[in-house]
Amino acid sequence: DILAAFRVTPQPGVPPEEAGAAVAAESSTGTWTTVWTDGLTSLDRYKGRCYHIEAVVGEDNQYIAYVAYPLDLFEEGSVTNMFTSIVGNVFGFKALRALRLEDLRIPTSYSKTFQGPPHGIQVERDKLNKYGRPLLGCTIKPK
């Protein structure tokens, strides 16, 4: 599984467990409407699961929601697909006042499917004159 830790601030009246479950659903297989393809496969195999919630010490109404995503949910070799699935749509969710991805753990078996730049990372860093930090080339659009 890919493991994500989100800092969640629920809207007033929304329990933290509900907020964590909503993040897991919205960032994996959940949708606000019935989709005709729902009956074609078991969504249990693909859905994200919020497996732990803990309060952030010293912060009112802030929690860390730990979510596990099955690897079958993601296309191999696509960083863009992975990030779009996990953080592409969930930040505008109405049950949350605020949401931030704090940590992401990617299994080695999955990260090895990423081919990387065709000429090597050093060539890309030299072209961009960017060193000592990650390079991301995907569009993430929180509302």
**In this predicted model, what pLDDT tens digit does every residue of 3-18 receive, in sequence order?**
999 999 999 999 999 9
pLDDT, residue 56, reads 96
pLDDT, residue 54, reads 97
This prediction has a pTM of 0.74
CA distance linking residue 19 with residue 23, whole number of Å = 6
At the topology level, CATH places domain 2-117 in Alpha-Beta Plaits (3.30.70)
pLDDT tier at 69 (50, 70, 90 boundaries)? Answer: very high
**Strand 63-69's sheet: what is its strand order?**
49-55, 63-69, 2-10, 96-105
Question: In the structure encoding, which two tokens stand for residue 52, read together?
Answer: 């732990």
**Total residue count of the chain as it appears in this document:** 143
Half-sphere exposure of 47 (CA within 13 A, CB side): 17
Half-sphere exposure of 60 (CA within 13 A, CB side): 2
CA distance linking residue 16 with residue 104, whole number of Å = 20
